[in-house]
Amino acid sequence: MDIKSTLAAQGYAATRPATQPKAGESGGAGEAFARLAGDFAETLNRGEQVASASMIGNADPHALVQALAQTELAVETAVTVRNKVVEAYQEILRMPV
Protein backbone atom coordinates (compact mmCIF):
# COMPACT_ATOMS: atom_id res chain seq x y z
CA MET A 1 0.00 0.00 0.00
CA ASP A 2 2.86 2.35 0.74
CA ILE A 3 4.43 1.56 -2.64
CA LYS A 4 1.28 2.65 -4.50
CA SER A 5 1.23 6.05 -2.82
CA THR A 6 4.94 6.50 -3.58
CA LEU A 7 4.37 5.62 -7.24
CA ALA A 8 1.42 8.00 -7.39
CA ALA A 9 3.50 10.80 -5.88
CA GLN A 10 6.30 10.13 -8.39
CA GLY A 11 3.82 10.13 -11.28
CA TYR A 12 2.35 13.40 -10.10
CA ALA A 13 5.79 14.97 -9.76
CA ALA A 14 6.70 13.83 -13.28
CA THR A 15 3.57 15.33 -14.89
CA ARG A 16 3.43 18.53 -12.86
CA PRO A 17 5.99 20.46 -14.97
CA ALA A 18 3.93 19.75 -18.10
CA THR A 19 0.90 21.52 -16.62
CA GLN A 20 2.69 24.62 -15.41
CA PRO A 21 2.97 27.63 -17.72
CA LYS A 22 6.35 28.17 -19.29
CA ALA A 23 8.32 31.19 -18.11
CA GLY A 24 9.20 32.30 -21.65
CA GLU A 25 5.60 32.48 -22.86
CA SER A 26 3.83 35.80 -22.63
CA GLY A 27 0.19 36.24 -21.67
CA GLY A 28 -1.22 33.31 -23.58
CA ALA A 29 -4.90 33.29 -24.46
CA GLY A 30 -5.77 36.35 -22.40
CA GLU A 31 -3.24 38.52 -24.18
CA ALA A 32 -4.30 37.18 -27.57
CA PHE A 33 -7.95 37.95 -26.80
CA ALA A 34 -7.05 41.46 -25.66
CA ARG A 35 -5.13 42.01 -28.91
CA LEU A 36 -8.13 40.79 -30.95
CA ALA A 37 -10.48 43.07 -29.05
CA GLY A 38 -8.14 45.99 -29.66
CA ASP A 39 -7.97 45.21 -33.38
CA PHE A 40 -11.77 45.01 -33.52
CA ALA A 41 -12.14 48.40 -31.82
CA GLU A 42 -9.51 49.90 -34.13
CA THR A 43 -11.39 48.63 -37.20
CA LEU A 44 -14.63 50.18 -35.95
CA ASN A 45 -12.92 53.49 -35.20
CA ARG A 46 -11.26 53.56 -38.62
CA GLY A 47 -14.65 52.95 -40.27
CA GLU A 48 -16.22 55.78 -38.27
CA GLN A 49 -13.39 58.16 -39.18
CA VAL A 50 -13.67 57.39 -42.89
CA ALA A 51 -17.47 57.75 -42.74
CA SER A 52 -17.15 61.12 -41.01
CA ALA A 53 -14.54 62.26 -43.51
CA SER A 54 -16.70 61.24 -46.44
CA MET A 55 -19.68 63.21 -45.08
CA ILE A 56 -17.70 66.42 -45.23
CA GLY A 57 -16.09 65.52 -48.55
CA ASN A 58 -12.58 64.60 -47.40
CA ALA A 59 -12.69 60.91 -48.41
CA ASP A 60 -13.42 59.25 -51.71
CA PRO A 61 -16.39 56.86 -52.05
CA HIS A 62 -14.09 53.89 -52.68
CA ALA A 63 -12.40 54.36 -49.28
CA LEU A 64 -15.82 54.61 -47.64
CA VAL A 65 -17.06 51.39 -49.21
CA GLN A 66 -13.85 49.59 -48.26
CA ALA A 67 -14.03 50.82 -44.64
CA LEU A 68 -17.69 49.84 -44.35
CA ALA A 69 -16.96 46.37 -45.76
CA GLN A 70 -14.15 45.87 -43.25
CA THR A 71 -16.37 47.05 -40.42
CA GLU A 72 -19.19 44.76 -41.52
CA LEU A 73 -16.82 41.78 -41.68
CA ALA A 74 -15.45 42.57 -38.21
CA VAL A 75 -18.93 42.81 -36.70
CA GLU A 76 -20.08 39.58 -38.38
CA THR A 77 -16.98 37.80 -37.07
CA ALA A 78 -17.55 39.12 -33.54
CA VAL A 79 -21.20 38.01 -33.63
CA THR A 80 -20.21 34.56 -34.86
CA VAL A 81 -17.62 34.16 -32.09
CA ARG A 82 -20.14 35.35 -29.52
CA ASN A 83 -22.72 32.84 -30.77
CA LYS A 84 -20.18 30.00 -30.55
CA VAL A 85 -19.24 30.99 -26.99
CA VAL A 86 -22.90 31.12 -25.93
CA GLU A 87 -23.55 27.76 -27.62
CA ALA A 88 -20.58 26.19 -25.82
CA TYR A 89 -21.73 27.64 -22.50
CA GLN A 90 -25.23 26.25 -23.00
CA GLU A 91 -23.77 22.86 -23.91
CA ILE A 92 -21.78 22.87 -20.67
CA LEU A 93 -24.94 23.71 -18.71
CA ARG A 94 -26.72 20.75 -20.29
CA MET A 95 -24.03 18.29 -19.14
CA PRO A 96 -25.10 16.02 -16.32
CA VAL A 97 -23.21 16.43 -13.08
Whether 26 shows a pLDDT value over 70: the answer reads: no
Per-residue model confidence (pLDDT) at position 89: 95
Per-residue model confidence (pLDDT) at position 21: 61
Give tens-digit pLDDT for 49-76. Answer: 999 999 888 888 898 999 999 999 999 9
Whether 24 shows a pLDDT value over 60: the answer reads: no
Per-residue model confidence (pLDDT) at position 59: 81
Q: What is the 3-state secondary structure (H, E, C) of 1-58?
A: CHHHHHHHHHHHHHHHHHHCCCCCCCCCHHHHHHHHHHHHHHHHHHHHHHHHHHHCCC
